[in-house]
Chain A
């Protein structure tokens, strides 16, 4: 509830996307501020003193070649990876690096995984119901769902276009529908910041189109960070883009400026670093991304 009020205030203050990243901003405007973040696995530095920030109400796309550290950054924000150094400040309050995953969700950080992560043997409705109950006490979970809550669940399913399938077992949904269900499970929790790891991976053209529209409508009311490999999708739906390369921010700004940045072109056309791909080689729609940053 607090989140909604805060969002409202900041939406008025900073219209979505129009004052993109890179401009001067005070700490008060920032929903997320990553400072000097360093993470290494077995001596290999994945994030290297990374500085990154997002404003309230902003929708940001995060791109970069394989191994750039995109998923690792999301892992760090959601508590899945613990950084060696640096800190992450969220919503002007706590340092996230000391908290566990479920505590971060309660602070208002929702995460969508790369592959759909849902509960296959529950119904579509029950999936959202489980997500909605995340602030209940254990004793509260023993009771049934209240009328008001079930209205909210159905409204969320309407939003992601799954209302007609509310009673179906979630495991029987198509790949794209599972992705929408997972998004719905996040939306019903009203997160302040939504992190999406390749939301259109493996989707058909029509599904990508619908997901893009869904993202835009979500992005109009809350802060969203989208990691995406699909350049066509980025060109179509992104406003501001951050390019990661070798664990650092390479470029940041509107998609036009980023596209013309010689550093970015060089990083994507690549010298030497194996496993890197050119823009042209970025995964085609429907192709599954297997190598993770």
Chain B
């Protein structure tokens, strides 16, 4: 009997989730979300499709943060920077396509007479598109290595990434001739020869984003299921034990942080052509914190959670800002407080029937006791 149990357990752990519920959580729900997103352009207006396309880029961004925060336990409050760098690399390509490889409008206004050397290669798609991954990944890897080597973790790591968001956004604002300053880079006309604002191009970009989202999901799912993925979770649980198990956490964290930065960059590259602008406001402190809110609301450490969180929070944000322009930010704040205090496992946690927590200060029992005493008709 004991042997049978242990064989069952061994097989289960080797082959992964075997129970029906786990299987459903692993594949049925993502497939459902994918089906909804595939069908969305058929029923939504062009405006809504463009909006949803933007949310999908946020979903990719949220997944990149979930990978390091939800699994490896590193909260980055600077992911807007990596998103922005990818967005800028794409914007440089689009802008040069519009300007036919010549000086762009904002450079002319800023008094430049020649295209800066580092801009020139971005007129080629074969250079610009890989750069949307490589530049942010390199920055994340370089910064990450220095930070992780010094064994800086937790809130101190979050503060450093927060500082990065501030520094990079100030840098981009200050370098107007090269970055377009506060206005950012905008006014693109075509993408690969197609008019960028036409509905058919936008629908194509929507599906391209959805395809990247699906691929990112598969990549993350594969990574998480591998031994490397288990090592990430191990670092979240007890970094010291990982170190004393013979691994160098600094290297592992650098790798995953660079990968996460690169994925965020790709999200930014998909954002720019759909929204038509990239500016420093996208990489500052506030958007960087918002990303963490999406992940927290959706559910940390669940791949689908980041996607659901990014789409729902942004959907709520645009819905509320249309209906309650003055106070919608309070709703967002309440949602985040709720995610921290009441449902720490996020929406995905609630769907799985776990992670519902009743905060003590709500004092539900006392309220109920009061109600039964003073309000007629209310019983236990």
Contact = CB atoms under 8 A, between A and B. Distances in A.
Interface string A140-182: 0111110000100010000000011111100000000000001
A154 B6 contact: yes
Contacts of B247: 102, 134
Interface stretch (B61-69, B153-161, B226-234, B309-317): B226-234
Interface stretch (A115-123, A264-272, A278-286): A115-123
Contacts of A122: 230, 233-234, 237
Interface majority SS (helix, strand, loop, mixed), chain B: helix
Contacts of A150: 10, 14
29 contacts: A100-B248, A102-B245, A102-B246, A102-B247, A105-B245, A105-B246, A117-B240, A117-B241, A118-B241, A119-B237, A119-B238, A122-B237, A125-B9, A125-B13, A130-B231, A130-B234, A130-B245, A134-B245, A138-B228, A141-B231, A144-B227, A145-B14, A150-B10, A150-B14, A154-B10, A164-B5, A166-B9, A167-B10, A167-B12
Contacts of A133: 227, 231
A187 B225 CA distance: 25
Interface in B234-271: 234, 236-238, 240-249, 251-252, 255
A244 to B, nearest CB: 22
A141 B238 CA distance: 19
B184 to A, nearest CB: 37
A189 B212 CA distance: 40
Contacts of B8: 167
Contacts of B226: 141-144
Interface residues on B, range: 20 to 34
A85 interface: no
A111 interface: yes
Given A164-B5, A166-B10, A185-B245, A119 B227 contact: no
A207 interface: no
B248 A102 contact: yes
Contacts of B234: 119, 122, 127, 130
A143 B226 CA distance: 6
Q: Which of B227, B248, B252 has the most CB of A within 10 A?
A: B227
Interface of B: 2, 5-6, 8-10, 12-14, 223, 226-228, 230-231, 233-234, 236-238, 240-249, 251-252, 255
Interface string A69-93: 0000000001000000000000000
Contacts of B9: 125, 164-168
B227 A136 contact: yes
A106 interface: yes
Q: Which of B6, B226, B255 has the most CB of A within 10 A?
A: B6
Given A101-B243, A105-B245, A145 B6 contact: no
A119 B246 contact: no
Contacts of A102: 243-249
Closest 8 CB pairs of A and B: A134-B246, A167-B9, A105-B246, A125-B13, A119-B237, A141-B228, A166-B9, A119-B234
Nearest to A171: B237
A129 interface: yes
Q: Which of A105, A119, A129, A131 has the most CB of B within 10 A?
A: A119
A126 B230 contact: yes
A40 to B, nearest CB: 22
Contact of B230 (A130, A134, A135): A130
